[in-house]
Structure 1
């Protein structure tokens, strides 16, 4: 972290730069959103759906679906089931689609296969284990958009709550090369049902389908606390108690693996965004950080459940946690390919699209 002469860190400046680039002014955002909505509806004419929304049961994706309904968009909701959904997540998703009267497509990956890929990342000691899920989510969205000839993705990514994140805490979510390389090194089962977004998929959606993403939350007033209350009142949504905690593995990963092995507390990034957006004070954030990152009782339950589901003994897991962390760049990645072969440079567009749609 770097500080300027006035004592402001570089993450705050990045937030301001991102806000200036992606947030319309309060005076123009309503008209700009309406223009975007009309384009989406126009592109959807003659097709079954106007847009596609990935739903996890979390706050952001739930509110995106709610906004799609308010603007009269014919929406296909898509969910990637990796076997780690909490019961509450499942209840939230079904409540959302039933009350909004949207179609839902759920892709259920073969559990043994997904576990093998996930275990490969755990054994590799790389930081972004959630890359395995995030990549598959977007690959599933891509495939369904292609199947139904949908031209627009409504994204839950937004400046107010998802700008700040140190780059060494995550890896590029589009990197199918990195996934295949790590799985080849540590995996044991062939990937048959795991949805990879390879070069062919990226090229088809970019060059032939014209897929576009709209971060719709940047075009509306977005106060996290107010949005939570709205979806509770109107959709019967229920809170998980943490960002992305709709997944049991994500809760264990963010609450135990990241802080224990990598020294990372993602609350710092999430709370920083809310401070930058003026939604909480620094004192509020410090008070929350003073609380345990993980409820001890919940951690014991999740640890026992996760290790059993992953097929790891306590001793095996402890040994993995003691291994020295490695960089994703210790394994092959797609970045050198993009930089080395000019023919692949047009594919930078879908990669940037994914980064806008998926934020861990």
Structure 2
């Protein structure tokens, strides 16, 4: 009984002290385990399967599209997928309708990985805008011209018909002020290379492309030789010698041959009489003397040759070019 009374007194004392303490007093009582605070707080059962909503609502999952997004083609692998340049160009044109960058990258792969000679397709309306705005469009055109054999004079006529601003060396020499800073395309042979502080200067001799005809055998050649011999005796009077008998032989030889040939034309390059100085950004061992190249360059103007006077209008001048790119011409020419 004493212990029970003492316990009750202790309880009364604690209640009296916690009346002014508010929530902190209740928390202390709960911590001492004197009241069943936990049981009172969880008197309502909670389904453990229920979940609280997230603080930030997650965006809905994107719907699957029936049309896949076009992937960027590998510039080196795209052209290798097609058997002919025409098929490759058609596929690149189809890709151009979805993405201009991807279509142009695919076309460059066609030029690099196939024997691309489709200059008319390249100059079509489908690629007109790309040829106008792409900074590497002139290099692609020069590469195609080289793959077609490097007949530059004829190809420039096609380019000018489509208003492509690439010109010839003769135009720049005739009107240097008009063509300064513009692209020039020429077929040239490297005559000499001189290096000056890792900025080599190349002596270029412009070449024109012609052809020479020759006969090439086709099939078998037949030949027949025959010899005929005739012999006999002749009797009769021979002048003052009276009667005589003359004998002898006569041989004839016949020869006959048959052959089938086809005309063939070999391409030859000949100097036009125009020369130029080309500047390369760095030394290139493949740009060697004695070889022909299709050269794309910017026209920097005319420079008076050594020994001439700058003030003399009749002093010999050479065009100066900044070489952008060059390509070896294919031995077969596409007309």
TM-score (norm 2): 0.22
Structure whose residues are more often helix by fraction: 1
Structure with larger RCO (C-alpha < 8 A, sep 6+) = 1
Higher strand share: 2
What TM-score do the two structures reach when normalised by structure 1? 0.21
